[in-house]
Structure 1
Amino acid sequence: MITPGEYLELLDARLPGLVAGAHLYGSRVLDDVVPDSDLDVVIELSAPAELPSVEGVDVAVVLVGSLEKPVFDVTPLAGEVTPVLWQQLRTVGRTLRGPRPSCPGSAADVEAYCRDNLVSYWKRDFDRFRAVLPSLDLAAPIPRESLLWVGLGPARLWHTIRTGEIVGKSRAGELAAARWPDLPVLDLVASRRGADVPLTVAHAKASLELFDRILADVTS
């Protein structure tokens, strides 16, 4: 797992003098680092340039000054920028280089983005899974990484829509498990944290049920 300092050293060696700002978000500022966590970082460049691709780094690249604008007015040089990212940077983000950004935005922008993402991104994928589920063996093993992504991702949006707070996947899973204790969401949380929990198609089916309940909860 590359450290923030090592990543900045690499960028400075490849792009001397261009990296004007660097800001952490994601698991490292949400108290949710696990062994396979990516390094989530926003890089500000003083001039357009292409960053080297580094395994385990999820980077959004913007020009200097972009983080002082509303997110809807920013076109990134690489990666994606969203109202949720902007909120993280202005609240819990950690600045490694440059001034702390203001990232102007509103709670309404964040909620609207989360609601739209539940339908435009997650519902589409879950509907595809719903169509093939009857043909699957519930006891069959399922890839861990993909299941943790779909099983815990919507819960993060659910919590943000309800409270405005942004949390990591593990905490979101705990909160969803407390709300719907009949679903095996804590198995996913334990697996994410490194426990040897066998994950099966039955867990994927439960993740679909969790998504349906989340969607009903935020639209009721």
Structure 2
Amino acid sequence: MTVWQQAVFQYRSLADSQRHFVLLGMYLVGSIALGEFRNNKSDIDAVWLLENEPTRDEVEFLANRHLGSASHAPPYLDGVYVTLHRLKTPAADGLPIPFVVNGVFSGDKPCGDLNPILRQCLIEHGLTIFGAQPSTLGIVADRTSTGNWIRSNLRSYWRSWMAEAKAKVDTRQPDEELNAAALSWGVLGVSRMAATLETGEIIGKSAAGEWAMRRWPEWAPVLLPALDERAGHLKHATINQGREALAYMDYIVTRFS
């Protein structure tokens, strides 16, 4: 049994022993659904389908259930607790729902992970742990909405991320080392966005890096280290590689946002 299978089995065993709270389904999305789970790098991304909007007491119950089953170290069992109505109602995405990020449960905040990308990944790639198949739930994967969300995300999250990264890189000496994981996160993160905008498909980070290599071979010196880190072969990068990575990211964000 793999690391992620053990975590899911533990959660489901606890849920099965607490049947007074109804879950209609549990689905895996993200790297597992896309066939790109990497030990020590990936988290376990889930969608838990609720029968009804939870009361305050039920949210507390979910928090305790999650605390009783989740790992306190990566890979974290992350995801959203959501009703089918909310999955079918994108206009309500800004309203609070229970969710987990990096193993931390939140019950009364808006969740950025409930978005068109999650819906499309769930419908087209979701792995059913229990419940009805995603394709039978009546959820619409609107690729136009996915594209609009990605462009907004490039302008907001990724522009901000790049500005913070540049500020840090600019303070470092040329001979200092850079955490290759940060380089990989940025380079492959925006590559995924570009791939979805051009192809309409949701793909994993490694697949996105390979796609970008074919699409823009002139950026191979940036993409290859990112792919090496993703594969577990690179721990440190140079400051110059970091600057080149930010130049690539700026190229992608400017081109697609």
Same fold (TM over 0.5): yes
Q: How far 1:14 sits from its partner (Å)?
A: 5.4
Amino acid at match of 1:151: V
In the aligned structure 2, how far is the partner of 1:136 from the partner of 1:29?
Answer: 38
Q: How far 1:156 sits from its partner (Å)?
A: 0.7
- Equivalent residue pairs, number: 218
Change in CA separation of 1:201 and 1:13 when aligned onto 2, cut-off 3 Å: farther
In the aligned structure 2, how far is the partner of 1:207 from the partner of 1:89?
Answer: 30
Bigger mean CA deviation after superposition, 171-180 or 142-151: 142-151
Q: Which residue of 1 aligns with 2:223?
A: 185
Change in CA separation of 1:2 and 1:92 when aligned onto 2, cut-off 3 Å: closer
Matched, 1:149 2:185: yes
Residue among 20, 24, 41 paired with 1:20: 24
Matched, 1:127 2:129: no
Q: How far 1:214 sits from its partner (Å)?
A: 0.6
Residue among 151, 165, 171 paired with 2:201: 165
Q: Which residue of 2 aligns with 1:96?
A: 129
- Contact residue 172 and residue 239 of structure 2 kept, 8 A: yes
Give the structure with the higher percent strand. 2
Matched, 1:41 2:46: yes
Where structure 2 has 5 or more consecutive residues not aligned to the other structure, the ranges are 100-110
Matched, 1:61 2:66: no
User: Normalized against structure 2, the TM-score is what?
Assistant: 0.76
Bigger mean CA deviation after superposition, 150-159 or 95-104: 95-104
- Contact residue 45 and residue 64 of structure 1 kept, 8 A: yes
Residue among 1, 4, 8 paired with 1:2: 4
Q: Which residue of 2 aligns with 1:205?
A: 243
Q: How far 1:38 sits from its partner (Å)?
A: 0.9
What is the SS of the residue equivalent to 2:203?
Answer: coil
Matched, 1:109 2:152: no
User: Normalized against structure 1, the TM-score is what?
Assistant: 0.87
Q: How far 1:153 sits from its partner (Å)?
A: 0.8
Amino acid at match of 1:163: T
After TM superposition, where is structure 1 displaced by more than 6 Å over at least 4 residues in a row? Answer: none
Bigger mean CA deviation after superposition, 74-83 or 18-27: 74-83
The RMSD of aligned alpha carbons is: 2.2
Q: Which residue of 1 aligns with 2:117?
A: 84
- Contact residue 173 and residue 185 of structure 1 kept, 8 A: yes
Bigger mean CA deviation after superposition, 116-125 or 126-135: 126-135
Q: Which residue of 1 aligns with 2:34?
A: 30
Residue among 41, 49, 70 paired with 2:89: 70
